[in-house]
Amino acid sequence: MRALLVVNPAATTTSARTRDVLIHALASEMKLEVATTEYRGHARDLGREAAESDDVELVVALGGDGTVNEVVNGLLHSGPDPDRLPGLAVVPGGSTNVFARALGLPNDAVEATGALLDALREGRERTVGLGLTSGTPGTDDESVPSRWFTFNAGLGFDAGVVGRVEQQREQGRKSTHALYVRQVVRQFLGEQHRRRGTIAVERPGEDTVTDLVVAIVSNTSPWTYLGNRPMYTSPKASFDKGLDVLGLSRLSTAAVARYGTQLLTSSPERGPHGRHATSLHDLDQFTLHSKVPLPLQMDGDHLGLRTSVTFTGVRRALRVIV
């Protein structure tokens, strides 16, 4: 098997020595080409080159969720074709690694490499669904390029938190769960629309859900992790189904305390719920509109401000080694 290993040298939880050990282990089992990312978007370019190659059978992403997202967008540049395109394998190297953990992989890079090699020897793989966003026709955002996401996206509050964390990391601060918690508090204190939201969810043939402060879109469950604690916004979300949405129409102090507690104690059976919470399950397509520009995030990557985003749940989009 010929494989391409895409390495993010800035990955949070892997050292140069660990990466060398992992590369040696992978190279002992396959014909391995190693490419180290040098700029933002480089992993996407490498994934696209692999997709257009005639002999690359597997792309291994060594990094965090951002690296995985870029590789996936490169692989699927011309659309999904699981039978033709290279498969994807993930070695977690970021601070959270939601996609890898949702697939059932260990959160340790060395253990995950061992699991990957076992899966290759035993021929274990699955084809997962993904989320696809695009600019909404007839809006100011209609020319925004389409983009894939693997586990979640969000418009509003949570995307604002992601943007704040990115700003802190650009200033040299390390990505930690404590950093995220601090930015949640700061985003809440600065949230202008927390008592009456500006987001609407439009679905073909269904009533529009209006006045949401935040809309969290999930392609799998859990939504994310706080340390080793999984947190579930949409417990029924699955790689084998469409997309799920959790919308909150109020983020007052009392509401934040209530939904924050529910999130911290959430489980595969129950996520946040209540009078100001809306849960939608297994959607093939819908559009989020906002009366004002709001931040958008996908797979933990802040993508700027948007007023309208169309989401599509694409089933059986990508072949992954598990």
pLDDT of residue 194: 59
Considering the entire predicted model, what is its pTM? 0.92
Residue 288 corresponds to which tokens in the numbers above? 């989020």
Distance CA 79, CA 91 (A): 24
As a whole number, mean pLDDT of residues 132-160 equals 94
Q: Which residue has the tokens 């949409």?
A: 234
Q: Which pLDDT score is estimated for 68?
A: 98
Look-up of token digits 């935040």: 214
Contact 234, 263 (CB under 8 A): no
Could you tell me which residue, 293 or 188, shows the higher pLDDT? 293
Per-residue model confidence as pLDDT tens digits over 191-248: 666 567 899 999 999 999 999 999 999 999 999 998 889 999 999 999 999 999 999 9
Quick check: 309 pLDDT over 80? yes
Site of tokens 């990557």: 301
CA distances from 265 to 219, 230, 262, 273 (A): 20, 9, 5, 12
Which residues have a Cβ under 8 Å from the Cβ of 122 and sit 6 or more positions away?
none
- Is the pLDDT at 53 greater than 80? The verdict is yes
Report the mean per-residue pLDDT for the chain: 92
- What confidence tens digit (pLDDT) does each residue in 35-45 have? 999 999 999 99
Residue 293 sits at the vertex; the CA angle it makes with 43 and 139, to the nearest 5 degrees, is 85
Is the pLDDT assigned to residue 105 strictly greater than 90? yes
